[in-house]
Each structure stands twice: as structure tokens, then as C-alpha cells.
């Protein structure tokens, strides 16, 4: 059978049988994970001006083109809606202290490296996230050790960036191996 897919709402690819989907197309055969920005306290309900643009972190709004475009693809409190203006405000000291460490790490990474399609994997009682951006060879891995940390793994070269790897790297590679070993 030929796998049929079509572009669904907001640019999301819809498959007729996910069991036959190419993991390189979807990166993971589980549902995509959209990390949600937590509700912010009332004092965050402020409008900020950046040139001719206006942003409000509490309402997750900005008048810039980047935010308007991202809002067509992502909805609600999904952090992938954030533009550079909102991200910069949220990682500033006043806001950073009210965000959980994983959310802060994901926002910082998105600001530096761009949006990623996230997937969530279970390991015992814990979980880890993977992110895949525009690059085909690198996979970002977010793991909670003593604190949340970001690592990068090269699928082609089968190595961790800067020889820096998570404590449970072998278990993570084992869990990801069906996706990592898939040929293009």
C-alpha cells in the first residue's frame, strides 16, 4: 500500500496509516509534543514596544511577522508560537525566575537555534525530549539529570556534540535507535 498523506490544518501532515509512515518524515512515530508555556502571573500582562512592534508575554501576542506566521502553524500556549521579541522578554531575569527550568531551556534553545519539532519519550519513571529542527543530521536531546540539560547527537556520525553526553546516553540511543538508524 502506498502511504497517503496530505497537508492538514496549520501545515500539519496527516497520514492515513501512521504505522507505515517513514520515521525520517515524521522523526518519530509517536505524536508530536508541543511544550506549553505555563500561565503567567497577572503582573506579566503588559505591552512592550520594540521599534514599531508591540508584544505581551501574558497574552502571548506580538505584532511582528515572525509571530503572525508562527501563529498560523501553532496555537494556544505552544512555545513554538514565540517570536524573538517574546522569547527575549521571557528569558530576561524578571520572567526567567517564574518559568520552570525545562520551559526556560526550550525557549533559550529556540531563540538561538530556531523552532524544533519535539517528541517525548519515557524512560522508567522519567522522560526525555528530542527536538529536530531544519538540520537533518543533528537531534537535540533534553534530559533532566540534576537539572534540565540540552545535548546534541549526530545521527550520521553517531556521536554526541563536543563529546558531551547525558548520563543515560546508552539507554537514550537504544530508545531512539529505530529513528536514528533509518536511512534517508
User: What pLDDT score was predicted for residue 31?
Assistant: 54
* pLDDT, tens only, 124-168: 788 899 998 777 789 999 999 999 999 999 988 999 999 999 999
pTM (two decimals) = 0.79
- CB-count burial class (<10 Å; 0-12, 13-18, 19+) for 58: middle
* pLDDT, tens only, 105-125: 999 999 999 999 899 998 878
> Smallest Cα–Cα separation from 172: which of 184, 150, 50, 48?
150
User: What pLDDT score was predicted for residue 183?
Assistant: 57
The helix/strand/coil state of 108 is helix
Grid cell for residue 179: 529513528
* pLDDT, tens only, 1-60: 344 444 445 455 554 444 444 444 444 445 578 899 999 999 999 999 988 999 999 999
Tell me the C-alpha distance between 85 and 61, whole Å. Answer: 10
Q: Where are the alpha helices (DSSP H) in the chain?
A: 23-26, 65-73, 84-90, 93-96, 101-113, 169-180
User: What pLDDT score was predicted for residue 14?
Assistant: 53
Tell me the C-alpha distance between 5 and 13, whole Å. Answer: 7
Domain edges within the chain: 22-33+115-184, 39-99
Tell me the C-alpha distance between 155 and 139, whole Å. Answer: 7
Banded pLDDT at 182 (limits 50, 70, 90): low
User: What pLDDT score was predicted for residue 85?
Assistant: 95
Amino acid at each position: 500500500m502506498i502511504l497517503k498523506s496530505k497537508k492538514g490544518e496549520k501545515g500539519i501532515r496527516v497520514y492515513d496509516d501512521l504505522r507505515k509512515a517513514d520515521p525520517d518524515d515524521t522523526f518519530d512515530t509517536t505524536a508530536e509534543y508541543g511544550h506549553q508555556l505555563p500561565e503567567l502571573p497577572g503582573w506579566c500582562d503588559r505591552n512592550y514596544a520594540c521599534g514599531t512592534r508591540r508584544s505581551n508575554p501574558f497574552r502571548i501576542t506580538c505584532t511582528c511577522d515572525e509571530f503572525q506566521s508562527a501563529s498560523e502553524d501553532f496555537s494556544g500556549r505552544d512555545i513554538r508560537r514565540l517570536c524573538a521579541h517574546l522569547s527575549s522578554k521571557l528569558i530576561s531575569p524578571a520572567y526567567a525566575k517564574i518559568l520552570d527550568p525545562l520551559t526556560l531551556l526550550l525557549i533559550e534553545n529556540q531563540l538561538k537555534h530556531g523552532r524544533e519539532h519535539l517528541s517525548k519519550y519515557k524512560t522508567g519513571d522519567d522522560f526525555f525530549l528530542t527536538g529536530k529542527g531544519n538540520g537533518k543530521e543533528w537531534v537535540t536531546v533534553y534530559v533532566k539529570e540534576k537539572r534540565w540539560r540540552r545535548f546534541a547527537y549526530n545521527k550520521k556520525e553517531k556521536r554526541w556534540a563536543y563529546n558531551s553526553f547525558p548520563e543515560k546516553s546508552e539507554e537514550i540511543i537504544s530508545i531512539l535507535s529505530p529513528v536514528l538508524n533509518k536511512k534517508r
